[in-house]
Chains A and B, each alone.
Chain A
Amino acid sequence: MTALLDVRHLSVTFTTRAGVARAADDVSFTVAPGETVALVGESGCGKTVTALALLRLLAEPPARVDPASRILFDGADVLALESAALRRLRGGGIGMVFQEPAANLNPVLSIGAHLVETIRAHASLSRGAARARARELLAMVGLPEPDRHLRQYPHELSGGMQQRVLLALALAGEPKLLVADEPTTALDVTTQAEILELLDSLRRQLGMAMLLITHNLAIAATVADRVAVMYGGRIVETAPAARLFAAPAHPYTEGLLRAAPRLDGPDRPTPAIPGGVPPATAWPTGCRFRPRCARAFDRCAEEPPLMAAGEGRETRCWLAAGTPEAS
């Protein structure tokens, strides 16, 4: 199957006072039509920079996207798009929702004004027709009284309802891919569960693909078909979700899974990974996880490439090189 999104060798650096931060380093992955891929990692791993680069939302400078990077979306070369085509891509081909819904809504515009403006930016509709479409979108994202909500302002809605409005805005352009960056992190757990369910059912209903950015492995396990784990600006493991969670191949993935508190796991905290993430200006040489890895050995002084480990899995770890049948 041809990928809907094909990211190849994406590298993004930032020049800071402390030096050059290699925020995303040679990141490659694909998203097939209708597929949900989760990009998982802790803060500073490069997942958000990767998401922002997809829509060319990084300010350059201070960011610098390496010229060898390629982002192909639906056949188009995203990094080469002119401004008009780029506008059509943002919200048209690719919709996006972010972590803080309130920060992405204009407090002095009604929900209706947000939606009508966005709808008319993507389709030449009359005000009346756009309003009807707005009502439709609000119903689609499960807001119970579309007519009332159209007249409301962002502060009159709860966090969960605001996130539904953002989702309606993201769907206005009928995107083929929805990029959701920590869409439930600011929400309560009961609301989170509702939003995740909604995202998944809309994706099915509309035949969209989804790229979910999250720090929460359990959220990835709940909604993703495939998971890419990032560490130190690099993808360190990618695998079908079920396989990744059943048998992680990379020691970082394994450590994260052991450290994550769970209702059915050990009833004592498990500090499975010592230390912390080094700054992006000073990644360790060799394998970037080496200083925190309990299984590091001589060869880890050399950085491992992403290696195929069977059944759709790839891992950036020399341990996989020794055992061709990694499962």
Chain B
Amino acid sequence: MSAPLLLVEGLRKAYPGARGNVAGEPPAAVEDVSFVVNRGETLALVGESGAGKSTIARCVVRLEDPDAGRIRFDGGEIGGLRGRALRAFRRRVQIVFQDPHGSLNPRMRVGAAVREPIEVHGLARGAEADARVAGLFAEVGLDPDYRARFPHELSGGQRQRVGIARALAVGPDLLVLDEPVSALDVSVQAQVLALLRDLQARRGLTYLFIAHDLAVVRQMADRIAVLYRGRIVEEAPAASLLVDPRHPYTRALLSAVPRLEPDARQARVRLREPGGEGTAVTQGCPFAPRCPDPRRDDRCLRELPAALEVGPSHRAACHFAGKPVSGVAPSRPDVRG
């Protein structure tokens, strides 16, 4: 395979002094994050709140500048881009946010919202721009008559289709999808996910797919990277990660997903410090305070685990990732209590 379309290396971003307000959490910090996304594939970044998923997304599309590390897109460093080069980058990398209600101008008709980037980037004007907008609406499964509507006149699923059309308007290669379906109902969620898969196949798009829901991720991703408190703790092809998770956090996350069969009230991996979101650590493994693995020892509290190669393209940052839990097959969640 050719060089990766996106390469992130040693990314660090902190928000010193950020407190957030009464309602919100401060943006999550990211520490030494590295990954690649190859052309035409989907890499999913999975994690809970505070894991740093959105911070990474914002750095990749250059809404934020990292404190350290580099981000290369199609071979070129994005950090130093200015002027025309930056505009060209923005045409090739687009982002779709979770809440299309918040990212669309409430006073702009949605047709104009999709047309805007076409004009800003000078891709088409007049009747040609109109035709492109109509084509984009049809492509995302919206009746072109909807162009004259305002965002509040659309359902959540329709608004998200508009958000996707707007991102596609400039003909990008990479789409960063930041929780694109978490605000949608189940029936609509499936429609939008299917649309995203179709678009990827049809247009040869590359996706960086950010989500907290492993069941959704499983339907979208070729590879999955699991984040915990700003660090990637495990990364693998989707099938290996789901079948043979090696990091205790990944195992806990998988076991916490509620299952549909009432009989499969599965043995859940119980974390230490229940009720909390886990104590922040300054040294050692970030997951150590909550880690339920019986093998957890002093070393976990002292020494940050390096990513171990545990299988083909499968890495896990746990001192014990290479060794199966004694008496339990590695594919089984570690069951306690």
A-side residues, CB < 8 A to B, are: 42-43, 102, 107, 142-144, 155, 158-161, 164, 188-194, 196-197, 215-219, 221-222, 241-242, 245, 255-257, 259-274, 276-277, 292
| B187 with A273: CB separation less than 8 A | yes
Q: How far is the CA of A218 from the CA of B256 in the complex (A)?
A: 11
| A245 with B260: CB separation less than 8 A | yes
| A42 with B185: CB separation less than 8 A | yes
Given contacts A102-B23, A260-B260, contact A190 B48 (CB under 8 A): yes
Select from chain B the residue with minimum beta-carbon distance to A197.
B268
Taking CB atoms, residues of chain B closer than 8 Å to A292 are 187
| B213 with A222: CB separation less than 8 A | no
Select from chain A the residue with minimum beta-carbon distance to B265.
A222
Task: Name the 9 nearest CB pairs between A and B, nearest first.
Answer: A269-B193, A218-B258, A188-B48, A42-B185, A193-B256, A261-B215, A273-B187, A259-B190, A271-B191
Select from chain B the residue with minimum beta-carbon distance to A186.
B49
Q: Give the tally of cross-chain contacts (CB within 8 A).
A: 146
A86: shortest Cβ distance to chain B, in Å?
Answer: 31
Taking CB atoms, residues of chain A closer than 8 Å to B242 are 263
Scan residues 176-190 of chain B and give those whose CB is less than 8 A from a CB of chain A: 185-190
Taking CB atoms, residues of chain A closer than 8 Å to B212 are 188-189
Given contacts A217-B260, A276-B155, contact A259 B219 (CB under 8 A): no
> How many residues belonging to B are interface residues under a CB distance threshold of 8 Å?
47
| B193 with A142: CB separation less than 8 A | no
| A190 with B256: CB separation less than 8 A | yes
| B276 with A190: CB separation less than 8 A | no
A305: shortest Cβ distance to chain B, in Å?
Answer: 24
| A142 with B252: CB separation less than 8 A | no
Q: Does B87 touch A at the CB level, under 8 Å?
A: no
| B275 with A42: CB separation less than 8 A | no
Q: Does B3 touch A at the CB level, under 8 Å?
A: no
| A259 with B186: CB separation less than 8 A | yes
Taking CB atoms, residues of chain A closer than 8 Å to B23 are 102
Residue of A155, A194, A216, A277 near B275 (CB, 8 A) is A194
Taking CB atoms, residues of chain A closer than 8 Å to B265 are 222
Q: How far is the CA of A222 from the CA of B257 in the complex (A)?
A: 10
| B187 with A269: CB separation less than 8 A | no
The digit string for B221-262, where 1 denotes a CB below 8 A from any CB of A, is 000000000000000000000100000000011111111111
The digit string for B256-298, where 1 denotes a CB below 8 A from any CB of A, is 1111111101001001011111000000000000000000000
Taking CB atoms, residues of chain B closer than 8 Å to A267 are 218-219
| A268 with B274: CB separation less than 8 A | no
Interface centre among B186, B188, B255 (most CB of A within 10 A): B186
Q: Does B306 touch A at the CB level, under 8 Å?
A: no
| A261 with B157: CB separation less than 8 A | no
Residue of B157, B197, B254, B261 near A276 (CB, 8 A) is B157
| B218 with A263: CB separation less than 8 A | yes
Select from chain A the residue with minimum beta-carbon distance to B213.
A261
A-B contact pairs, 19 of them (CB 8 A): A102-B23, A144-B275, A189-B253, A190-B252, A190-B271, A193-B255, A193-B258, A219-B258, A221-B258, A222-B259, A260-B186, A261-B193, A262-B215, A263-B215, A267-B219, A268-B194, A271-B193, A272-B187, A272-B190
B260: shortest Cβ distance to chain A, in Å?
Answer: 5
| B190 with A270: CB separation less than 8 A | yes
Taking CB atoms, residues of chain B closer than 8 Å to A245 are 260-262
Q: Does B158 touch A at the CB level, under 8 Å?
A: yes
Q: How far is the CA of A189 from the CA of B215 in the complex (A)?
A: 11
| A269 with B277: CB separation less than 8 A | no
| A256 with B186: CB separation less than 8 A | yes
Q: How far is the CA of A107 from the CA of B186 in the complex (A)?
A: 33
Taking CB atoms, residues of chain A closer than 8 Å to B261 are 221, 245
B299: shortest Cβ distance to chain A, in Å?
Answer: 24
Select from chain B the residue with minimum beta-carbon distance to A268.
B219
Interface centre among A215, A266, A267 (most CB of B within 10 A): A267
| B48 with A263: CB separation less than 8 A | no
Scan residues 273-331 of chain B and give those whose CB is less than 8 A from a CB of chain A: 273-277
Q: How far is the CA of A127 from the CA of B105 in the complex (A)?
A: 52
| B186 with A42: CB separation less than 8 A | yes
Given contacts A193-B268, A197-B268, contact A160 B258 (CB under 8 A): no
Given contacts A221-B259, A222-B265, A263-B259, contact A269 B186 (CB under 8 A): no
| A160 with B186: CB separation less than 8 A | no
Residue of A164, A216, A264, A277 near B258 (CB, 8 A) is A216
Residue of A107, A143, A188, A242 near B49 (CB, 8 A) is A188
